Structure 1
Amino acid sequence: MGKSKDLSKEFDKGQIVMARVLGQSISKTAALLGCSRSAVLSAKEKIKGTKIGDQGVMAGFLVWFWNERFWLPHNVTWADLKNTEESTFPQAEDLYVACPLAFFIFIIRLVFERFIARPCALGLKIQAHGPRKAQANAILEKVFTAITMHPDEKRLEGLSKQLDWDVRTIQRWFRQRRNQEKPSTLTRFCESMWRFTFYLYIFTYGVRYLKKTPWLWNTRECWYNYPYQALTVDLHYYYILELSFYLSLLFSQFTDIRRKDCLLMFMHHVATVSLIMLSYVNNMARVGTLVLCLHDASDVLLEAAKMANYAKYQRLCNVLFIMFALVFISSRLGLYPVWILNTTLFESWEIVGPYPSWWVFNGLLVLLQGLHIFWSYLIVKIACKAISKGKVSKDDRSDIESSSDEEEVAPSAHKHYTNGTNGSHGTNGFLSSACHDEH
């Protein structure tokens, strides 16, 4: 009995010590997250007893998540990065504003597309109506909605006998029915014009800001005195605006034009948002600005080429696409590994040394490089096909275009391809909804 009482007392003491440790940890975590003093005291009161309840579990999770050994270099604590009268450092609570700002950006987008982009599209004679609707047929509609949108030859022959239609007519019906679900050219133009406008603004802002910074010309400046690098107003604005925009893309992807590569783009947006947040919290913002500006450069040209395509300015579209391909490949396969990955992997290792979040940060950057290689391969493949044959076949276009445009005309052995820009055929047909947002 005596031994069991002693064990019970030791257990109670252990719980009390744990509660005190958690209380101290809550203070540090709350200070990091910008919690009020009353919230800190309330959290401490809740775990003052000898039993560790749900609040203690939550506090323990926060302590684990914000572990300094993961986020920061060796011998650096969150207390070292608190804001003072002399210096301001990135704080986790700075990112809170990104979510409401992302919603605000989405509202601005809706207004922009309705009152600015749409009149511009109509002024360029871009058609507002969508693809031709398929003839009403209950049997084919049931097959389309309940069984398959792409019937095989056996099913086509069965439907042909059942309806007394020839196979070509049924193929045309399914093609028109699939196209019926797609947005109009005007909708595509408005979406591209919004992206073009934002990318042009943010890229211009990034270049104007970075040309005044020493780390644009010498990337080793990203790591000197790291992580004790003060946060400027311009850098904070640049980061929060980029984060908010990518958050808006992340959520609006489910309401935007449906893309074939939507899963790939979703993964890209998640990686981008994670990189922005991670690099801000552990104050890798200097190299982060280089990554952001580099990625925005080619996006401006891509959206401009798509707008020219929708407006049927063939030559302008071709020129813009060539410029986009050159900038994309040179920046993503040239500058990115030589300039960005070199400084994050090697210069930072030499000056600062590795730590856990350093590995995560570089892992995400390498993941982006993998996406760059994949997209560059598709761009080169389609560009070569367009140059050699004067057209881009449907299968090739579907590799890179996101909404998989299909010809609305019936298949014909003697059908001639033209240089039209309607997305059906022609040298730049793949731009009809294009590989958007290849960041």
Structure 2
Amino acid sequence: MTSTVFSWIWSESFWLPGNITWADLEHPPPGAEYPRLGQVLYAVPLSVGVLVLRLLFERLVAKPCAHILRIQSGVSRPAQPNAVLERFYKSRTFPDVKQLEGLSKQLDWDERKIQRWFRLRRNQDKPTILKKFSESMWRFAFYLGIFIYAIRHLWVSPWMWDTKECWYNYPFQPLSPGQYNYYVAELAFYCSLMLSQFTDIKRKDFNIMLVHHLATIALITFSYANNMLRAGTLVMCVHDVSDIFLEAAKLANYAKCQRLCDGLFVLFSMSFFLTRLIIFPFWIVYSVLIESWEIIGPYQSWWLLNGLLLVLQFLHVIWFYLIARIAIKAIFKGKVSKDDRSDIESSSEEEVDANGRNHSSRGLNSKDASHNNGHPKVNAGDH
């Protein structure tokens, strides 16, 4: 039974092009090695080490940098202690109209006062600016470091300049130490992101990001298993470029450097459009779809990998739509506007009373605590 399941999972007709068997890959040339799935699985326990490294980085590097930049924790004003409302809050953080009426009668409080209590209580559970700064600085450091490592490796690789080199003599392409290190580092990082996503700042695109992480992990793993490493390194490198500018823009935002934030956001928007809507679909996806078809022909796992690439491209379109909305607002307002994925409320949040009327607190428009002093939150397209 076990052998049957194993043979089904590792079916040669699924993983390999026609007329090629696993036995053909067991004897690489002297001094060479072909990828084996067991090698990249070391990234799973390594992801725990990445999480530990992140905690150390945030404590020993990010927080001291935040102190130098005078970034405070920004602790929200606490809600008035109330046992009844606290019990209700544990089951529901946004009471509806009928629940507001019931709580108002029970406590003899005005509904407006109860709404304000829930807003303040929700803000107590939201992450501070210091936490968001530390999270962004960790991602900025990783993306910058891994991109530098990748570009040094790819710059001397022929497939960066001629994508057809990804498919010549496929799958008999030796594994280089640079490819292995790059793959393991990226896979460990994205595994750690998927785990930490449940404890990090929760944004409106939580489900989209979860799909993104799962698709990325699957893409990295599958491309390694069937030795599509050359195309895989190009995909990962292209995705890391815009993230560097995104996280840098966030850092400038949290440090209240508005002009720097706006400039970095422009660079992020341009790099996102260039790499993910131009280079990725018309260079890399084209190579995997068309050039590989012409050179090696399609096979079962080929269809799966192309499907994963198209899922990523679909997500890119969604994210660029969000980015474009921010950019359009910036044109009219003269600065980067609030992100539609804003993840924190402030005391300026618009409230809706029992009759459905909007009440803005003191004329402020921002919902994000990081918008104080005119500094918006920048986090669209994050992955």
Length-normalised TM-score, structure 1 = 0.80
Q: Is residue 198 of structure 2 the alignment partner of residue 254 of structure 1?
A: yes
Q: Is the contact made by 1:314 and 1:419 (CA closer than 8 Å) also made in structure 2?
A: no
Who is 2:341 aligned against?
400
Alignment-derived partner of residue 355 in structure 2: none
| Partner deviation per Cα, 1:67-116 (whole Å, 9 max, x = no partner) | 11100000111111124424211112211321222121111111111111
Gaps of 5+ in 2: 351-358
The alpha carbon displacement at 1:160 in A equals 3.6
State how far apart, in whole Å, the 2-side matches of 1:419 and 1:61 are: 56
In the aligned structure 2, how far is the partner of 1:185 from the partner of 1:257?
A: 11
Matching residue's letter, 1:138 = A
Aligned equivalent of 1:351, options 290, 295, 298: 295
Of 426, 429, 434, which aligns to 2:376? 429
Q: Give the 3 Å change call, closer, same or farther, for CA 246–418 of structure 1 in structure 2.
A: same
- Offset at residue 121 of structure 1 (A): 0.9
- Report the AA paired with residue 400 of structure 1: R
RMSD between superposed Cα atoms in Å: 2.3
User: Could you tell me which of 121, 131, 136 is aligned with 1:187?
Assistant: 131
1:130 aligns with 2:130: no
Please say which of residues 77-86 and 321-330 is displaced more in the overlay.
77-86
CA drift of 1:143 comes to 2.6
Matches within 5 A, 1:218-257: 218-257=162-201
Alpha-carbon offset, residue 391 of structure 1: 7.7
Deviation track 1:375-425 (CA, whole Å, cap 9, x = no partner) reads: 1111111221343346888xx74x333xx2212236555834589994246
Number of the residue aligned with 1:409: 348
Q: Normalising by structure 2, what TM-score? A: 0.91
- Residue in structure 2 matched with residue 167 of structure 1 by the alignment: 111
Once the two structures are TM-superposed, the CA of residue 256 in structure 1 deviates from its matched residue by 2.0
CA distance, structure 2, for counterparts of residue 392 and residue 295 of structure 1: 23
Say whether the 8 Å CA contact 1:332–1:369 is kept in structure 2.
yes
User: Gaps (5+ residues) in structure 1?
Assistant: 1-56
Larger RCO (CA under 8 A, 6+ residues apart): 2
**Does residue 92 of the first structure (1) align with residue 37 of the second (2)?**
yes
Q: Distance in 2 between matches of 1:330 and 1:410?
A: 36
Separation (CA, whole Å) in 2 of partners of 1:384 and 1:171: 33
Question: 1:76 aligns to what?
Answer: 20
Q: Which of the pair has more CA radius of gyration?
A: 1
One-letter amino acid of the structure 2 residue matched with residue 140 of structure 1 = L
Q: C-alpha separation between the residues in 1 aligned to 2:289 and 2:186?
A: 24
Task: Call closer, same or farther: CA 1:156–1:389 in 2, change over 3 Å.
Answer: farther
Deviations 1:253-290 (A, max 9, x none): 22222333222212111110111111111111001011
Partner of 1:75, secondary structure, is coil
Indicate yes or no: 2:213 matched with 1:213: no
- Per-residue CA deviations over 1:294-340 (Å, capped at 9, x if unaligned) read 00001111111111111111111111111111111221111111011
1:102-113 alignment, distance < 5 Å: 102-113=47-58
- What is the one-letter code of the residue matched to 2:107? L
Question: For the structure 1 residues 322 and 422, does the alpha-carbon distance in structure 2 shift closer, same or farther, using more than 3 Å as the test?
Answer: farther
- Report deviation, 1:219: 0.7
Question: Does the 8 Å CA contact 2:129/2:370 hold for their aligned counterparts?
Answer: no
What is the number of equivalent residue pairs in this alignment? 374
